[in-house]
A and B are shown apart, each in its own frame.
Chain A
Amino acid sequence: MRSLLILTGIVLVAIAVVSARFHVSTAQQESYELTHADEIKYTDFAHYLSYIDDSVRNETFENDAKNRILEVGSDKEFSDISNALAASRDGDIIQIHQGTYRESGLIVKNSITLLGIGRPVVDVDGQGEGIRIIADSVHIEGLEVRNVPSSHSRDHAAIRFDRVSGGKVIDNRLDNNFFGIYLARSHDLEIRDNHLTAYHVRESASANGIHLWNSDRATITGNTVIGHRDGIYLEYVQESKIFNNHIEKNIRYGLHFMFSDDCIYHHNRFEDNGAGVAVMYSRRVIMKHNRFADNWGSASYGILLKDITDSEIRNNDFYRNTIGIRVEGSDRVKIHHNKFNRNGWAIRIMANSMDNHITQNNFIDNAFDVSTNSRRNNSTFDSNYWDKYSGYDLKGDGFGDVPYRPVRLFSLIVERNPMALMLLRSMFVQILDITERIMPTLTPETLIDEKPLMREVEISL
């Protein structure tokens, strides 16, 4: 029944969109007046939508017979949120009307819906935490929570889920908080379309935007996180999905992953974060279709892989990072179909990594394509496109006949003496590189692309 209703809803929306387009185009030719028939059609449609909406909502809470709507507002039944919360039962909807509520330490004990109308503001005003949820399947939507204070001893959060399962946080604005959304031992949550902004300058005074600890199967999508310590932080999180988020200008990492297996993140944008994205001590992580841009600094990466196994990095765009990917102690990671453009170092791979496979990537305009810290190499590079490759393809099979050595002698020199970087692009350094390429004595013997591509790989980003 429910799916049927949704289906009819979708069909109606499609019809409405098409007819609206049609009307606009015809109206542009003649006049902008709507006829009476049109008005009826639109009101019908709106009515239908509200009906669908209600029915879906009723189904979410099983005891649909009893659920009530509690109104909070200056001229409503409840003047503040805490009273409404105290009066609520499972399945209730608390509608919070526009206004500023100076409340803090709100505790949600029942499975209810907190719905902001006209984006009401909960101003914590430096008084501890914002909203704490200790009931399952709580739905929070359309609120703005402000001014949760920094603390060195307590993890104050704007919205905290504590040992629950199920629940949604949708379309909220969290402004100037310590922690934004905090999940502790809470499973199956959906965090969608929220906008988090913080303004701290120092790492010690700030906290993470979306923080998950010991929480499995979370869905984090469509959020914007700006100016927190870590944009998204995951610790002991399994099987979660993180996608379509925009993580920008956070003080430390855009996304920080610890001991979190079987997670997937895709179609996110990580820009101008202090140190990019760090993926640590995790297995079976899939990272695809993300964009890592402008992560600048001496310890700043697009992705930092530390002790990662059996993972996959594909179809990502690395643009103007100091280091595109740093691979450290990571095994069996497949890196393929990525685009590395104008990075300082595209890939820095440490000798303690094994059996990684780097293939079908485009390396374009990077100062250094690959660098390493040893002559030993236990990973394979093949079939990549290197813009600095100068070989030929007599066989005509699309692969160069001469192997390509992506590690320049100069990158080893810089490794040992960072100040030598000032000689980048100097004639002298180019001569050194050419001699080394002809007679390799210092660069790793096995770090070599036997089949460099002659043309760029087609990559869908």
Chain B
Amino acid sequence: MIAKILKYQLRDVMRSKWIIAYALLFLIFTDVLFRFGGDGVRVVTSLMNVVLIVIPLASMILGAFYLYNTREYIELLLCHPVKRHQLFWGMFLGLALPMVLAFGGGVMIPFVYNGVGPEAWSAVLLLVFTGSALSVIFVGIAYYLALRFDDRIKGLGLALVICLFFTVIYDGLILFVIYLLSSYPLEKPVIAFSLVNPIDMGRILMLMQFDISALMGLTGAVFRDFFGTKMGMMIALVSLLLWLAIPVSAGLRQFLLKDF
């Protein structure tokens, strides 16, 4: 049943033009970066800034919009013998999958036809992994918000605020805390801070790849020692999984209990 809904959803999403525009955006951007004389690794570094800002924003807004727009369709389907959780998973994957594919495809195609080396490939794969995780996480949050608030303005507004919070305000708060408590050993709290924000976590994972020389300084050693070990990697992965699971399960719960 999920497969059937998913198939229908995918066809619907593919037919609308925004997903193609979304893929083209990444494709053109990556291509232009290559044309401006960047080698593979440099392109990934430039892309990283875009990915960390655009993906959360796009996933959030598109996700919320999509759910608000298909409200009547959902109500229609619910009149039929379709289980609610099946419908939810169909709807969720129906948006998250195309987002991931559009992003991954858009970014990777220029890398294929420009023929880059293995170092650039490992970098771009990390980028695609991070971007995909962020896509799914923020679509999940958007679904939860759209289901929680019937008022579109409220839902979208909140989505924007949350997005802004994770991309900008959160880092400002960290800086504030670091300044405030600069005379205390902050290594461990700062690692904990970075695990709480999925965007920060993605950013630090990529920093480990690109800015390794800067990170080899005093502070960097702390991160290297943490993320470099199996234990640290496990904790990072668990935290990422939690970020995947919590918004989606909250959304699912909303969907199951909601009085449409």
Contacts and interface: CB of A to CB of B under 8 A. Distances in A.
A365 B179 contact: no
B223 A367 contact: no
B12 to A, nearest CB: 33
A426 B48 contact: no
Interface in B145-204: 167-169, 171-172, 174-175, 178-179, 182, 186-187, 190, 194, 200, 203-204
Contacts of B179: 417
A344 B213 contact: yes
Which of B42, B206, B211 has its CB near the most chain A CB atoms (within 10 A)?
B211
Contacts of A323: 217
Nearest to B166: A427
B214 interface: yes
B69 to A, nearest CB: 29
Contact of A298 (B45, B174, B217): B217
B16 interface: no
Interface in A195-218: none
A419 B215 CA distance: 11
Which of A343, A414, A427 has its CB near the most chain B CB atoms (within 10 A)?
A427
Given A367-B211, A367-B214, A426 B203 contact: yes
B207 A425 contact: yes
Given A425-B211, A428-B175, A418 B216 contact: no
Contact of A367 (B172, B182, B213): B213
B138 to A, nearest CB: 15
A368 interface: yes
Contacts of B174: 422-423
Question: Which bucket holds chain B's interface residue count?
Answer: 35 or more
A321 B213 contact: yes
A422 B194 contact: yes
A413 B218 CA distance: 14
A427 B214 contact: no
Given A298-B221, A365-B42, A367-B211, A423 B171 contact: yes
A322 B223 CA distance: 15
Contacts of A368: 214
A425 B48 contact: yes
A431 interface: yes
Which of A365, A422, A424, A431 has its CB near the most chain B CB atoms (within 10 A)?
A422
Contacts of A414: 219
Interface in A290-320: 296-298, 300, 320
Given A296-B216, A322-B213, A428-B168, A422 B182 contact: no
A300 B221 CA distance: 13
A388 B204 CA distance: 21
A379 B190 CA distance: 36
A425 B203 contact: yes
A64 B125 CA distance: 70
A320 B175 contact: no
B53 interface: yes
A422 B193 CA distance: 10
A429 interface: yes
B67 interface: no
A425 B172 CA distance: 13
A343 B217 contact: no
Contacts of B53: 427
Contacts of B220: 421
B213 A419 contact: no
B182 A416 contact: yes
Contacts of A363: none
A239 to B, nearest CB: 34
A425 B175 contact: no
A426 B200 contact: yes
Contact of B175 (A300, A345, A420, A427): A420
14 contacts: A322-B214, A344-B214, A417-B178, A419-B186, A419-B187, A419-B190, A420-B175, A422-B194, A425-B52, A425-B203, A427-B167, A427-B168, A428-B168, A430-B49
Given A419-B178, A428-B169, 8 more contacts: A298-B216, A421-B214, A421-B217, A424-B211, A424-B214, A426-B203, A428-B171, A431-B168
Interface of B: 42, 45, 48-49, 52-53, 167-169, 171-172, 174-175, 178-179, 182, 186-187, 190, 194, 200, 203-204, 206-207, 211-221, 223
